[in-house]
Structure 1
Amino acid sequence: MQKIIIVEDEPELASNIAELTSLLGYSVSGIFNNSTSCLEFLSNHKVDLILLDILIKGNDNGIVLAESIKKQYDTPIIFCSAYTDDNMLQQVKQVNPQGYIVKPFNRDILKTTMFLALNNHSQKKEEQNTFHKETFHIRDKGYVVPLEINNILIAKADGLYTKIITPDKNYLIRDILKDIEARLPQDKFLRVHKSFLVNLDHVTSFNSKGITINKQVIPVRRGLFKTLKEMFGTQKEKGALLPE
């Protein structure tokens, strides 16, 4: 059951919202009327969603509280407020909440907004995780550069460095080839020579002496030819386009 908290300064309204959310199948972990108690709770408890009023007790309003939450936690926020003026909406926009419900609201509006907020947040996290899995981060001239793994053609040992070769640019990074090999997916990359690691998806041809990628011929270690034939033969049965 997904856990939520409610930040609302009107006790009766907070109780009504809690009852509605419980009927919708959510677990209400807490009700707060100020930012201090809310942040204290969040420091010790994980929640899935926050329903937040703008006008709350204490020195900080709901927008300031939302800014603090966003800096510390990856938790979706839905504002519940009667404010609809342009100035207030511009302030809310800066916080980038997952939803905004105008009071008064009914059960269906609350249900729809909460469902979409949680679903969109979950999808965003999945996309971020997929991005990190499918990218390889290197440091180039003081900047971190995310490279799509599929765009890495060849990794070549160069002493204490490794040259990463892509279709658009080559990068020289201070990592030995062995460490690069450990960070890349083993089902996509193969150490064909003590100095070369290649992306098998970009192989266009091979023989007992070399393997061709992007018109570059890479030497292969002795005895690898049979292994390559077996590997590509297996992939060919799965319908991949492979060299003869």
Structure 2
Amino acid sequence: MKILIVEDDPMIAESVQDILGILRHEVIGVAEDAEKAIAICNETLPDLALLDIQIGGDIDGVDLADLLNQNFQIPFIFTTAFADNDTISRAKSKGPYGYLVKPYGVKDINAAIEIAMTAYERFKEAKESQAMSKVIQDSIFLKVDSKLIKVKINDILYVEAKGDYALFKTQEKGFIVHTTMKRVEDRLTDHNFVKVHRSYVINLSKIVDIEESNLLIENKVIPISRSNKEALIKRLNLL
């Protein structure tokens, strides 16, 4: 891996370089302060940074970790000779992937790197999974003939029962799907939809106006049944 060393003690920095060489990692640079560390990252993005907490300059290793998180999103391991509770507490709040207390040797660094990178990969997978889940939750796949067509849920104006089928109406077009209104209601009620009639499930955000037993969406007049009117009123933001 490409590793950045942030250490203001030249002898320790050289020792860490030697250890990383033994472990077959590439040191892309050694920085004695935050300014140089950021300059190195701008030139070559590391896979991991080893950050000494007590470094020269106005910004210490803990604050540098914030900058690396904001600008480069790379994992980092804190290295320090100080293991007091205050230092650990402050460092812990920055979300490091490891914490090495000096002095350390080959086995210590190797174990810290392995654990840090495993944790980082799991974090990335979880983040990607969360992003994918959001995409899926914002859309629905409609089975139309032999195709699965992805439609953004908020683009659906209303769903109308058509016998054994249902019409999913968007502003652009309509999709005829073989399904039941019960299934439609189950899938959409958590997404700002409500059943207003045995034949209609509507998108609350698309309502233009409501008059007695009807409501208007686009240019479509949709009936409101007595049994569903109370549930509709409860979902509205009334003044």
Q: Return the TM-score normalized by structure 1.
A: 0.61
Distance 1:39 1:212 in 2: 58
Higher Rg of the two aligned structures: 2
One-letter code aligned to 1:195: G
Alignment-derived partner of residue 156 in structure 2: 162
Q: 1:12 to 1:73 in 2, by over 3 A?
A: same
Cα distance in 2, alignment partners of residues 215 and 120 from structure 1 = 40
- Say what the alpha-carbon RMSD is for the aligned residues: 3.2
Distance 1:133 1:157 in 2: 14
> What TM-score results when the alignment is normalised by the length of structure 2?
0.62
- Structure 2 gaps, min length 5: 143-149, 160-168, 186-198, 200-239
AA of the residue aligned to 1:78: I
**CA drift at 1:132:** 2.1
What does residue 51 of structure 2 align with?
Answer: 52
Q: How far off is 1:127 after superposition?
A: 2.3
1:15 counterpart letter in structure 2:
E
Structure 1 match to 2:116: 117
Q: Specify the SS of the correspondent of 1:42.
A: helix
Question: Match for residue 196 of structure 1?
Answer: 175
Local SS of the residue matching 1:95 = coil
Identity %: 25
The 2-side partners of 1:105 and 1:9 are apart by 16
For 2:30, give the aligned amino acid. I
Q: Deviations over 1:9-62 (max 9, x none)?
A: 111110110110111121110011111111111122111000010111111111
SS at match of 2:135: strand
Match for 2:34: what amino acid? S
Alpha-carbon distance in 1 for matches of 2:73, 2:49: 11
2:18 corresponds to: 19
Instruction: Using the TM superposition, give the Cα deviation of residue 120 of structure 1 relative to its aligned residue in structure 2, in angstroms.
Output: 1.3
Aligned amino acid, residue 61 of structure 2:
G
Map of 1:41-80 to 2, 5 A cutoff? 41-80=40-79
Distance across 2 between alignment mates of 1:214 and 1:96: 46
How far 1:177 sits from its partner (Å)? Answer: 6.6
Counterpart of 2:118 in 1: which secondary structure?
helix
Correspondence for 2:37: 38
Contact (CA 8 Å) 1:79, 1:101: kept in 2 or not?
Answer: yes
Change (3 A) 1:148 1:164: farther
Q: Structure 1 residue 107: deviation in Å? A: 1.2
Q: Which of 208, 212, 233 is 2:180 aligned to?
A: 212
| 1:59 counterpart SS class | coil
The equivalent of 1:172 in structure 2 is none
Structure 2 residue aligned with 1:28 = 27
Quick check: 2:49–2:75 contact (8 Å CA) kept in 1?
yes
The corresponding residue for 2:212 is: none
Change (3 A) 1:156 1:99: closer
SS at match of 2:28: strand
Instruction: Report whether the alignment pairs 1:136 with 2:104.
Output: no
Q: CA deviation at 1:87?
A: 1.1
Q: Structure 1: give runs of 5+ residues left out of the alignment.
A: 138-146, 166-174, 179-193, 199-209, 219-244
Distance in 2, Cα, partners of 1:156 & 1:35: 47
SS in 2 for 1:119: helix
Letter in 1 for 2:43: N
